[in-house]
């Protein structure tokens, strides 16, 4: 008998970042540091697809083209001296919604403080999947509470042709960011979710493209809870809704447009629940997420108890006449 590689007792709580954990965008401290008007920057980004198409480039990734525009600002000296270390420093300036980062520990406590869940060694892991900048997230107050971060990444030192055969090892210099190392868009967020599902982030020998039976995957989709703010997250919402996961949409409490947006997604069945982005323990959203973790943990417990019962043959008892 071959034993499954993972007990499937991990609950993955997966968070979007901008407009989900904080009211604005993570790039705001970057604009403030260099005296750049953020609205102007984003308007330029919105116009880039048309600008490049007019030059004959018909395929432009509108979700990630802002990364190239940041590098343009670096080359022109607007973001003078911008390094990954500076981006990380800027992360410490982010101001989060109420209840963040406390909500991370609170959801973990839902299972560690429950005798039934603890008996099955159920645990909660937090992940962030964002089209934003990974170094800013890593430098923020939430980083110590998460198992992994999927987001866009820059490099400073670029490998030159023939670098594999050079005698001296290339070392990172103190130069500014100069190339895009990793980009994630609204659709490829689903790839990150599949990597968590299969355990790619925990086991280097596993590839996201490897064929794996559902019972062999580290975190089944039905063990996942995804929290995000809007239409850009619909691809991930769709994956989890299809495979039995939990989805929850949040909005800024005082924003009528954000409320209408999430309400529309809820009405269309894109998200299973929604609420204002207040994560304090006794808030509507705090309680909703806690109950979602309870539901997942209860389902795991029931599956394991049922499997244990099925694997044990009852001993014969006395026959009473």
Of 240, 235, 225, 244, whose CA–CA distance to 285 is shortest? 225
Residues in the chain: 321
> DSSP for 190-236?
HHHHHHHHHTTTT-TT--TTS---GGGSSS-GGGEEEEE-SGGGHHH
DSSP lists the bridge partners of residue 14 as: 127, 226
Question: Cis link prior to 101 (omega < 30° from 0)?
Answer: yes
The pLDDT assigned to 316 comes to 53
Euclidean distance between CA atoms 193 and 218, whole angstroms: 12
Each residue of 172-190: pLDDT tens digit?
455 899 999 999 999 999 9
- As its CATH architecture, domain 10-23+91-166+182-310 has 3-Layer(aba) Sandwich (3.40)
- Mark the ranges of the chain whose per-residue pLDDT is less than 70: 1-3, 167-174, 309-321
- Asked whether 243 and 225 are in contact (CB, 8 A), the reply is no
Domain ranges, ordered by start, for the chain: 10-23+91-166+182-310
Each residue of 207-219: pLDDT tens digit?
887 788 888 899 9
The pLDDT assigned to 146 comes to 98
Each residue of 235-265: pLDDT tens digit?
999 999 999 999 999 999 999 999 999 999 9
Instruction: Give all strands of the β-sheet with 273-276 in edge-to-edge order.
Output: 179-182, 148-155, 123-133, 10-15, 224-228, 246-251, 273-276
């Amino acid at each position: 008998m071959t034993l499954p590689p993972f007990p499937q007792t991990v609950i993955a709580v997966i968070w979007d970042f901008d407009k989900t954990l904080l009211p604005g965008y993570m790039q705001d401290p970057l604009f403030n540091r260099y005296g750049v008007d953020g609205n102007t920057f984003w308007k330029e980004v919105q116009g880039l697809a048309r600008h490049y198409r007019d030059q004959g480039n018909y395929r432009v990734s509108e979700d990630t083209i802002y990364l190239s525009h940041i590098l343009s600002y670096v080359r022109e000296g607007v973001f003078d001296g911008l390094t990954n270390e500076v981006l990380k420093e800027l992360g410490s300036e982010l101001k989060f919604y109420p209840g963040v980062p406390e909500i991370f520990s609170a959801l973990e406590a839902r299972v560690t403080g429950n005798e039934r869940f603890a008996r099955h060694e159920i645990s909660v892991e937090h992940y962030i999947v964002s089209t934003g900048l990974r170094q800013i997230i890593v430098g923020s107050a939430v980083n110590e509470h998460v198992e992994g971060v999927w987001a866009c990444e820059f490099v400073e030192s670029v490998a030159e042709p023939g670098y594999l055969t050079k005698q001296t090892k290339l070392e990172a210099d103190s130069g500014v960011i100069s190339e895009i190392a990793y980009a994630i868009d609204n659709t490829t967020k689903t790839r990150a979710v599949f990597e968590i599902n299969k355990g790619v982030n925990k086991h280097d020998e596993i590839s996201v493209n490897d064929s794996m039976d559902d019972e062999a995957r580290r975190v089944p989709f039905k063990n996942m809870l995804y929290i995000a703010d809007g239409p850009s997250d619909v691809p991930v919402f769709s994956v989890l809704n299809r495979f039995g996961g939990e989805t929850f949409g949040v909005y800024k409490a005082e924003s009528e447009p954000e409320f209408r947006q999430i309400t529309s997604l809820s009405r269309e069945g894109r998200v299973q629940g929604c609420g204002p982005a207040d994560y304090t323990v006794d808030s509507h959203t705090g309680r909703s997420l806690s109950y979602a973790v309870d539901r997942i943990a209860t389902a795991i417990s029931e599956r394991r108890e049922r499997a244990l019962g099925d694997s044990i043959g009852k001993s014969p008892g006395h026959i009473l006449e």
